[in-house]
Amino acid sequence: MNDTIARDEPAAAPASSAQPKKVFVKTYGCQMNVYDSQRMADALAAEGYSPTDAIEDADLVLLNTCHIREKAAEKVYSELGRIRKLKAERGERGRETIVGVAGCVAQAEGDEIIRRAPVVDLVIGPQTYHRLPQAVRKARAGEKVVETDYAIEDKFERLPALRKAEVRSRGVTAFLTVQEGCDKFCTFCVVPYTRGSETSRPVAQILAEAQRLGEAGVREVTLLGQNVNAWHGEGPDGSEWGLGQLLFRLVEVPGIARLRYTTSHPRDMDDALIAAHRDLPALMPYLHLPVQAGSDRILKAMNRRHTADDYLRLIERIRAANPDIAMSGDFIVGFPGETDADFEATMRLVREVGYAQAFSFKYSPRPGTPGAEMPLHVAEHVKDGRLQALQALLGEQQAAFLKSRVGLTMDVLIEKPGRQPGQIVGRSPWLQPVIVDEKAGEIGDIVRVRITKTGHASLFSEPV
């Protein structure tokens, strides 16, 4: 078992105990960035930094950035302009503020960030945040630090042990990164360039972290990866495991009652993983399986390496294994060369699948990707119209799925207090928030309820 995660030792003494230091982390983008932000905070705890939600009180400000959406870098520079004023004001009061940029924009921009925004003291990529404590020490000594080389060493091995108190403060659900990077090279996506090639954590390391989460009271774990179902980690006997085999092992971890995983690629849904959806009640019946488009011509231009029919036949197999499963997806409209007929093919696919939830976006060029260099870019007003039509259809499907839950009896994991007195909020097996009477149970309990009505995106219930 991985000793660096499994030990329950006190954190190292802070670098300086003269005055407690605080770190403010702003997280952009995906669930993996949320996980990364938490682990960066864990790494900084040994340097004497405690988290704060008030940026004006922070001795260290970290922006953990995402490069997926349009103008992501410009949004970061805009935020840094506001932070520059804050840093100047604190300096006038004799308080030092270190400013860092982490994540995928950091990886993509590197030294350019410090050139354009001198307020930044350190830049650190997603593969090197285990080096963050050393980078902060250098920055406090007056050095401008850029750490964006892909690390040779395993960053997860070098992170400090998860501390029970920190895990408990985050709630009864948790993310656990098992896979990073991408080898698919979809022509619209920057992830292979910012996160690197696909790498998988070994089984022992994942189990140690899962056991740590279970000991701290976490009831539901979501496994994360850019292509999480491409995970193929080394097992205890040295053999290579797949995600399905890992899920069968994780259900044995004490305390962990529910499992999820995201994000998947259709090409990596193998028989063992589909069997897990059939045989494991702890694996929630909700699958995020992006297709991006319904036109084979556009899928080929995107380098997705599957057809619309491949995707639909895969959905049939998954639903045959677990008829209760709800599907979620991602869609891009207006990819270069997309015609009205191509877009209609996407609409047909959506109608055929029937999604419980989906995310849809207009295509926006990412610098350095093949898609940005393609001809026949679609006009913005055409993208707008297509996106509105697609989102209207997806909205109808989401509302229909919510309505189909009314009258069902289901197990709900209680997560937090409700907004109204007498209410608590849980999570359904299909990820919707469920409003529950507070007498039904306590945070961390899994309670049986009957769904009585729907809200905008939530469900209301009565105890059974």
Q: What is the pLDDT of residue 16?
A: 40
Q: Which two tokens mark 429?
A: 């097996």
* Spatial CB neighbours of 211, under 8 Å, sequence gap ≥ 6: 6, 253, 254
- What is the pTM (predicted TM-score) of this model? 0.84
Q: What is the pLDDT of residue 12?
A: 40
pLDDT in 10s for each residue of the chain, 464 residues: 333 333 333 334 344 445 679 999 999 877 888 888 888 888 898 788 999 999 998 999 999 988 776 677 788 888 999 999 999 988 888 889 999 999 888 888 889 999 999 999 999 988 888 889 899 999 999 999 998 887 655 666 666 666 666 666 678 999 999 999 899 999 999 888 888 889 999 999 999 999 999 999 999 999 999 999 999 999 998 999 999 999 999 999 999 999 999 999 999 999 999 999 999 999 999 999 999 999 999 999 999 999 999 999 999 999 999 999 999 999 999 999 999 999 999 999 999 999 999 999 999 998 889 999 999 999 999 999 999 999 999 999 999 999 999 999 999 999 999 999 999 999 999 999 999 999 999 999 999 999 999 998 899 999 99
Taking the C-alpha atoms of residue 90 and residue 161, their distance in angstroms, rounded to an integer, is: 33
Q: What is the pLDDT of residue 262?
A: 95
Q: What is the pLDDT of residue 451?
A: 98
Taking the C-alpha atoms of residue 283 and residue 280, their distance in angstroms, rounded to an integer, is: 5
User: Would you say the C-alpha torsion 453, 458, 461, 464 has a positive or negative sign?
Assistant: positive
Question: Is residue 368 a contact partner of residue 191, using CB atoms and an 8 Å limit?
Answer: no
The CA-CA-CA angle for residues 142, 146, 147, to 5°, reads 125
Q: What is the pLDDT of residue 17?
A: 42
Q: What is the pLDDT of residue 256?
A: 97
Residue with tokens 């599957």: 306
Question: Is residue 101 a contact partner of residue 113, using CB atoms and an 8 Å limit?
Answer: yes
Q: What is the pLDDT of residue 151?
A: 64
Q: Which two tokens mark 165?
A: 């108190």
Q: What is the pLDDT of residue 94?
A: 85
CA dihedral 183, 189, 193, 198 (to 10 degrees): -30
Q: What is the pLDDT of residue 10?
A: 36
Q: What is the pLDDT of residue 74?
A: 81
Q: What is the pLDDT of residue 163?
A: 64
